[in-house]
Structure 1
Amino acid sequence: MEMIVVAPSAPGRIEDLRRRFFARPLQALLSLVSLATMVFLAWKLLNWAIFSAVFTTSGGPEACQAAAGACWSVIAARWRIILFGLYPFEEQWRSALACVAVVVMTVLSCIPAFWTGRRIALVWGVGTALYYVLMKGGMLGLAYVGEEAWGGLALTLFIFVTTCLIGFPLAICLALLRRSELPWISHTTGLIIDGVRSLPLISILFTFAVVLPFALPQWLAGDKLYRVIIGSALFFSAYQAEIVRGGMQGVPKGQEEAAMALGMSYWQRIGRILLPQAMRNALPATINQFVISFKETSLVVIVGFFEILASGNAAYGTGEWRFAYVEVYAFIAFIYFVFVFSLSRYGAFLERRMSVGER
Structure 2
Amino acid sequence: MAMTDQMGRTGMLAVLRERYFSSPGNTILSIICFAILALIVWTVLDWAIFSAVFSAAKGPGACKAADGACWAVIDARWQLILFGLYPHEEHWRSGLACLVVVVMTVLSCIPYFWNGRSISIIWIGGFLTFYFLMKGGIFGMTVVDEQRWGGLSLTVFIFVSTVLVGMPLSILLALLRRSDLPWISGLTGIIIDSVRSLPLLTILFAFAVVLPFVLPDWASGDKLYRAILGSALFFAAYQAEIIRGGMQGVPTGQEEAAKSLGVRYFHRIQRILLPQAFKNALPATINQFVITFKETSLFIIIGFFEILASGNAAYGTGNWTFAFVEVYAFIALIYFAFVFSLSRYGAFLERRMDVGDQ
The 5-angstrom pairing of residues 346-357 of structure 1 reads 346-355=345-354
Aligned to 1:173: 172
Q: State the secondary structure of the residue aligned to 2:319.
A: helix
Residue 52 of structure 2 is aligned to residue 78 of structure 1:
no
Aligned residue number for residue 316 of structure 1: 315
- Where does residue 6 of structure 1 map in the other structure? none
Matches for 1:1-359 after TM superposition, within 5 Å: 12-355=11-354
Structure 1 CA distance, aligned partners of 2:238 and 2:53? 44
Moved more, 247-256 or 22-31: 22-31
> Contact 1:281–1:356 (CA<8 Å) still a contact in 2?
no
SS in 2 for 1:180: coil
Cα deviation per residue 1:87-128 (whole Å; 9 max; x = unaligned)? 111111111111111111111111111112221111112111
Larger mean CA deviation between 139-148 and 111-120 belongs to 111-120
* TM-score between both structures, scaled by the size of structure 2: 0.95
Paired residue secondary structure (1:355):
helix
The SS at the match of 2:320 is helix
CA distance in 2, matches of 1:301, 1:28: 50
Deviates further, 292-301 or 256-265: 256-265
Post-superposition shift, 1:358?
Answer: 6.6
Q: Secondary structure at the match of 1:53?
A: coil
Classify the secondary structure of the residue corresponding to 1:213.
helix
Question: Which amino acid letter does the alignment assign opposite residue 177 of structure 2?
Answer: R
Task: Report if the CA contact (8 A) 1:209-1:227 is conserved.
Answer: yes
Offset, 1:189 = 0.5
Which whole-Å CA distance do the structure 2 matches of 1:116 and 1:270 have between them? 14
Q: What's the counterpart of residue 4 of structure 2?
A: none
**RMSD over aligned Cα atoms:** 1.5
> C-alpha distance in 2, partners of 1:73/1:85?
18
Q: Deviation at 1:24?
A: 3.1
Q: Which runs of 5+ in 2 are unaligned?
A: 1-6
Q: SS state of the match for residue 320, structure 1?
A: coil
Deviations 1:156-201 (Å, cap 9, x if unpaired)? 0000001000101111110000000110000110111111111100
Give 1:118's aligned amino acid: R
- Measure how far apart 1:269 and its partner are: 1.2
Matched AA of 2:222: D
In structure 2, C-alpha distance between the alignment counterparts of 1:35 and 1:234, rounded to whole Å: 48
Distance 1:300 1:153 in 2: 13
CA distance in 1, matches of 2:113, 2:254: 27
Structure 1 residues 186, 357: closer, same or farther in 2, change over 3 A?
farther
Letter of the 1:132 partner, please give it: Y
Q: Secondary structure at the match of 1:239?
A: helix
Calculate percent identity across the aligned residue pairs: 68
Looking at structure 2, the residues matched to 278 and 39 of structure 1 have their Cα atoms a distance apart, in angstroms, of 46
Moved over 3 A (4+): 356-359
Structure 1 residues 106-152: Cα deviation after superposition (integer angstroms, max 9, x where no partner)? 11111111112221111112111111111111221011110000000
